[in-house]
Amino acid sequence: MSPLLRSRQFWLPHPLFSLFLALLWLLMVNRFNVSHILLGLALGVAIPFVTHDFWPERAKVKHPLPLLRYAGVLLVDILRSNLVVALRILRPARHLQPGFFVYPVELDDDFAITILASTISLTPGTVSIHYDAKANTLLVHALHLEDEADAIAGIKQRYEQPLREIFR
């Protein structure tokens, strides 16, 4: 047997993703018995194996614990941001000061940048619009932009810092 066929890298390229797929299957069929767990695990092995040629290089989640804390912070912020946006919509539109700003990204991993852009879209009054791969910047639109430097510093400190810890 060649070393390639024996390597875990070949048969199981994304162990966490496999586990996630198995869990997803269980959620979808909504039954938790042995046969479905086995089928889910089989799908979890088969799907990454078949599709991993299409994947970019895998993201390296080095520290899973900050990831959980990040998810918690995100959940609270989504709730808060939705209420803030709802209140801003209810106020007359002429009080709003919309604006664009360019956010310089310091992350260099594609997956991490995707998470950062999604986070920006889901949190208070900002939507990420365009990612410039050359300059490594995100163009962000804010529903109510008071101070540009303030908004950038807020995102940097609240979301990018934890993401850098996770994907270092």
Partner 1 sequence: MTSIDMPWFMQLVVAGFLLFGAIVALIGSWGLAKLPDFYMRLHGPTKASTLGVGCTLIGSLLFFSHQQEGVSVQEALVTIFLFATAPVSAHMMAKAALRRRLKGVPRTRNMPER
Residue 41 as a binder of partner 1 (CB under 8 A): the answer is: no
Near partner 1 by CB under 8 A: residue from 89, 106, 150, 153: 89
**Nearer to partner 1 (CB atom), residue 4 or residue 149:** 149
Sole residue written with tokens 């996770």: 166
Would you say how long the chain is, in residues? Answer: 168
Q: Residue 107 in contact with residue 116, Cβ under 8 Å?
A: yes
- Looking at 16, 19, 24, 46, which residue binds partner 1 (CB under 8 A)? 24
Residue with tokens 């614990």: 65
Candidate segments 7-15, 52-60, 121-129, 157-165, binder of partner 1 by CB under 8 A: 121-129
Does residue 43 bind partner 1 (CB under 8 A)? no
Contacts of 126 (CB under 8 A, 6+ apart): 120, 140, 141, 142, 143, 151, 155
From the CB of 66, what's the least distance to partner 1, in Å? 20
* DSSP count for the chain of H helices, then E strands: 8, 3
Helical axes 64-90 vs 110-122, angle rounded to 10° = 30
Q: Which is nearer to partner 1, 29 or 168 (CB)?
A: 29
Helical residues (DSSP H) of the chain, grouped into ranges: 3-6, 8-11, 15-29, 34-51, 64-90, 110-122, 148-155, 161-166
Residues 49-88: x/- map of binding to partner 1 (CB under 8 A)? -----------------------------xx-xx--xx--
Residues that bind partner 1 (CB under 8 A): 24, 27-28, 30, 78-79, 81-82, 85-86, 89-90, 93, 96-102, 117-122, 125, 127-130, 139, 141, 143, 145, 148
